[in-house]
Amino acid sequence: MLHRIFHIARRDLTLEFRERYSFLSAILYLIAITFIVYKVFGRIEPPTRIGLFWILILFTCINVVSYSFSFHGQKRKYYHYILYRSYELIIAKWLINLVKMLIAGFLLVLLQSIFADEPMKDIALFSKVYLLSIFGMTAAMTLISSISSYSQNQNTLIAIMSIPLLIPILLVGMRLSLISERIIVDTEIDNYLMMLVGIDIVYIAILIIFIPLTWKA
Amino acid sequence: MDIKKNWWKVLSVILMLYVLIAGILIPISPGLLDFDNSNAITGQKYNVKVKAYNTHFDQAKNLNAYLLLPSDQMLPADHIDLINAVELSASFSIPQDIIPDSVDRLDCSIVIDNEIDGYVQYPDAVTIKDTGSVSQLLEYKALVPISSLQGVDDFNFPFRPIVYETVRNTFFHVAIWMAMFLILLVSCYHSIRYLMSTDLLHDQKSSALTSVALVFGIAGLITGSMWARFTWGTWWTNDVKLNMTSIALLIYCSYWILRSSLTDIDTRARLSSVFNLFSFIALMILVMVIPRMTDSLHPGNGGNPAFGDEDLDNTLRTIFYPAIIAYTLLGLWIAQLSVRYYRAKDNIELMIYNNSK
């Protein structure tokens, strides 16, 4: 099973590399917004920087993940349905989205560090939080994009359905990253991390359980 | 109408009437609202004017005022001046040896006792200090035990500071939320039934139940907002539970957008069933888990107790639990009517279609 998942992931990565404009446009969007914001405001205080980071990650996530089903024609869907088990396909897609979001997050941290001229204060905690957050975010977004790929106005629907679902992750992630920037002091870091892990597990479990049901068209 | 088959509809109406009538008409227990003097000195007179709520001081024959000491002994008042049914002023002579050697001050409660209302008290109202000065010679009354209070056994809602009469909102705000959760649970059951059987009736039921639950959720938000205006002072606060419930309602609104954006009936039924289950789990995370981990003004969150004896005493329970049942049954009834309406509409459309062929 793992072998098959990696096989699908590798094939999809190749396809993505051929049609790389979608991911690169999302990255360009990220860089452009960061550049504009830093040029307009000059110096940005750490809380604003954290807020900006998470908002940009949210919209990049929506951009990146909504592409994962959009150029799948009806015929390719039937082909996949015959060839693979649905959960293998979806885990492969999820892994690819995860890799993309990792790249985007790394780039954004790098950009913000360069523009703000100061590095993150607790990079270990921050990367832990970021990793845990995108696990849940990409899982929820992959399910939503798979659901909304049946509809006509796909992109609007993805934004409407996913933002409420991502808010709990964003709230916990924002609080933890404020702690990592030493802006607020909290002794319950482990508690919040466990909360993130719990949300991740629930969303990933939902993804794997429900995908076969949405796939049956 | 067949009463035997539709007994639960009759039950819902009876319970609803019971909740409305009993919940509005049963009075709040008497209590003390306010007093004007919180410092007493040993060896001197202590005068206090007390404002109470829902009491009958003017009709009472046996009216007494006490200071309740931490040792469960009570100091009776020298005399009481009645102002009206809810106001009186009392004066006490504080004995010099009232403070034990181990402490330097005493926090006492004001207790007012009569045979109509029973006793009412304001906890930790007065601080007695010893300044060592004796200004006048007083006749001190002997302390009496706490068992001499006149308990009255009547059926009243509890008197809570800050909340006062709005304690009745428990039967509306809290009960509507509970009913919403139960209805969403039934809706999830029908979603699972649809995914297992692909019978469109289950999808219709689940969507009707979800829309009823959405209406209940909005009603719960409005009643909660009113309650917040009276107790916390604003219509909307930044409380975590408020934010999380509004997000949860947004998720259910997006359920409706999803339904309306899909045109194929089977695809719509399948995807919206999946999304219904998904959003119920998200609702559980948002409303049940996260508020418990952070500070909240709501009972039950951030270390506040909920459904303990502090919040919900037995008089409230006798209305609160029937209220939950009444709202749930009423919601199921509305959903049933809605399902019937849409089925009838579908049948008529089918008939017109067949006739036109």
Nearest residue in chain B measured CA to CA from A168: B286
Mean of the per-residue pLDDT values for chain B? 83
| Contact predicate B183/B329, CB 8 Å | no
Interface check for A148 against chain B (CB to CB < 8 A): the answer is yes
pLDDT band at B137 (very low <50, low <70, confident <90, very high): low
Residue B305 has pLDDT above 50, yes or no: no
- CB–CB contacts below 8 A, A to B: 73
For residue A79, give the amino acid letter. Answer: Y
Residue B25 has pLDDT above 50, yes or no: yes
Q: Region B40-64: what's the mean pLDDT?
A: 82
> Which pLDDT belongs to residue B217?
92
pLDDT more than 90, % of chain A = 17
Residue-wise pLDDT tens digits, B180-229: 999 999 999 999 999 888 888 999 999 999 999 999 999 999 998 888 88
| A123-132, A158-167, B31-40, B141-150: which is most confident | A123-132
Residue-wise pLDDT tens digits, A156-186: 788 888 888 888 889 889 888 888 888 877 7
> Which pLDDT belongs to residue B188?
94
Count of CB atoms situated within 10 Å of the CB of B21:
11
Q: Whole-prediction pTM value?
A: 0.81
Residue B302 has pLDDT above 60, yes or no: no
CA distances from B213 to B20, B124, B178, B185, B346 (A): 21, 44, 10, 10, 23
Structure-token pair, residue B149: 């209070």
Residue B143 has pLDDT above 60, yes or no: yes
Nearest to B281 among A171, A172, A206 (CB): A206
Flag if A167 and B247 touch (Cβ within 8 Å): yes
Residue B60 has pLDDT above 60, yes or no: yes
User: Rounded to an integer, what distance in angstroms lies between the CA atom of residue A67 and that of residue A157?
Assistant: 13
Distance from CA of B259 to the nearest CA of A (A): 10
Which position has the higher pLDDT, B109 or A188?
A: B109
For residue B203, give the amino acid letter. Answer: D
Nearest to A210 among B274, B286, B290 (CB): B274
